Structure 1
Amino acid sequence: MENLDKAVSKPIKHWAPDDQPREKMMRKGAAALSNSELLAILIGSGRKEKSAIDISKEILRMGNDNLNELGKLSLKSFQKIKGIGLARAVAIAAALELGRRRNSADLIEKISVKNSGEVARYLQVMLKDYRHEVFAVLYLNRANKVRNFEIVSQGGMTGTVADPRVILKRALEEEATSIILCHNHPSGNLKPSRADKELTIKIKQAASYLDIIVLDHIIVSEEGYFSFADEGLI
């Protein structure tokens, strides 16, 4: 088998079959491929002086060779690499989003709304790629099962504004009997602001007129979480 480090100086089509990412995946399965080889399949081809593998390694370095960090990059960030246009940047972002959703799919089935920690772990997966603040809602049915998760507003690095009317309209559409409010703090500081507390009270009061219960408001960051319910604030 041709050594992979030597092969990258030539176009992929000239590599030994076992070293070509697509052929390698068909023969050995996706698990046998490195991250750069999987990215190379998405990219499809390189440019004159660099193979798709070379470009993939450049992309991975942008995220410090960490897929979680890579998932936080914007389309414009990917396009800074020569050979990555909008179409390829979108394909990469879509693949990363699919991976994130796959990770969260099993979690949502196991969520116990009686346990703020389990809900918080799910929210950390769903919101970890956002470098700015977002406000989201979990809509639950009568059996306290999650019907839907939805981001209802996005803001800047320090805050976002959520409209109670939008939240409650969606709750009625989902036929939700209870909701869990949530947002992230990219800074890592989990202490709720005065605005966070006021908004929670406002939504809880409005929801009560529709017989919808606000079970909790959870703030998450990569470092941990803060539960309004656990702290007696709701």
Structure 2
Amino acid sequence: MAIRDWPQAERPREKLLSRGAGALSDAELLAIFLRTGVAGKSAVDLARELIGAFGGLRPLLDADLKRFSAAHGLGAAKYAQLQAVLELARRHLAETLQRGEGLNDPMAAERYLRARLRDLDHEVFAALFLDAQHRVLAFEVLASGTLDGAAVYPREVVKAAIRHRAAALIFAHNHPSGSVEPSAADRALTERLRQALATIDVRVLDHLVIGEGPPASFAARGWL
């Protein structure tokens, strides 16, 4: 049955408009993006099939052009549209953090840092630089490495804090393996950075380890 023949309250687009995007399933959200199905399948049917074939919504969204375009009902045009949507989401998160208001919601920083770092295939160490009112001054990648780690030098981090005139920082780095459990090396590095930044009166508010699932927070564990 075509979606236009469904009860109006159950059609994905109308459902979103009346109840909000959070009320929709992954397949329904994807169906709105796809707009149309293929012969014998509605957009929702096609969306369910694609999510199953890719092993979930995230693998579908993370697929490269070749694999994405090879799927039935997709192609280069849809891939370009999807990449544009994902980049819009990242930029929206960035602007949300940079509106000049204090960073009173820790989840806002977490969402942004996850969007920036979660899907990278190499380790990256980055920081959000904040002013005295915890307003975001800048996001900067401080080091990039291989799957085994990234070289981070306290002196360079201190120089970056001075350059941005920061009063506080939130560090974040990703674990490409997916594990969010901080290593002993992660803890030792964070302590070295905290001590180095203390010499210029810059506070480290948190260090987030990004991987699969919710990030690990050093602050939440009482390590800062």
TM score, norm. by length of structure 2: 0.61
Alignment of 1:149-164 (within 5 A): 149-162=139-152
SS of residue matched to 1:215 = strand
Q: Which moved more, 1:160-169 or 1:211-220?
A: 160-169
Cα separation, 1, equivalents of 2:157 and 2:61? 26
Structure 2 unmatched ranges of 5 or more: none
- Which amino acid in 2 is paired with 1:218? H
Name the counterpart of 2:78. Answer: 88
Cα separation, 1, equivalents of 2:180 and 2:152? 20
In the alignment, structure 1 residue 78 sits paired with structure 2 residue 62: no
SS of residue matched to 1:193 = helix
Cα separation, 2, equivalents of 1:202 and 1:28? 49
Residue deviations 1:178-212 (CA, integer Å, cap 9, x gap): 32322133333311327x7458737964x678x46
CA contact (8 A) 2:181 2:216 kept: no
Q: In percent, how many aligned pairs have the same letter?
A: 25
Cα separation, 2, equivalents of 1:155 and 1:81? 33
CA RMSD of aligned residues (A): 4.5
CA contact (8 A) 1:40 1:56 kept: yes
Could you tell me which of 106, 110, 113 is aligned with 1:123? 110
Alignment of 1:1-234 (within 5 A): 6-7=1-2, 15-16=4-5, 18=8, 21-22=12-13, 24-25=14-15, 28=18, 30-31=20-21, 33-48=24-39, 50-61=41-52, 64-65=55-56, 69-70=58-59, 73-76=62-65, 77-95=67-85, 105=96, 109-111=103-105, 118=106, 122-123=109-110, 126-127=113-114, 129-130=118-119, 132=121, 133-162=123-152, 171-172=161-162, 174-185=164-175, 186-193=178-185, 197=188, 201=192, 205=196, 211=200, 213-215=202-204, 218-220=207-209, 221=211, 222=213, 225=216, 227=218, 230-231=222-223
Q: Structure 1 residues 164 and 231, CA, compared in 2 at 3 Å: closer, same or farther?
A: closer
Would you say how many aligned residue pairs link Structure 1 and Structure 2? 207
Q: Structure 1 residues 34 and 166, CA, compared in 2 at 3 Å: closer, same or farther?
A: same
TM score, norm. by length of structure 1: 0.59
Residue deviations 1:30-58 (CA, integer Å, cap 9, x gap): 44654323322222334446443333223
User: What is the deviation of 1:61?
Assistant: 2.5
Cα separation, 1, equivalents of 2:167 and 2:29? 43
Cα separation, 2, equivalents of 1:130 and 1:84? 22
SS of residue matched to 1:179 = strand
User: What is the deviation of 1:141?
Assistant: 0.5
Q: Which has the larger radius of gyration?
A: 1
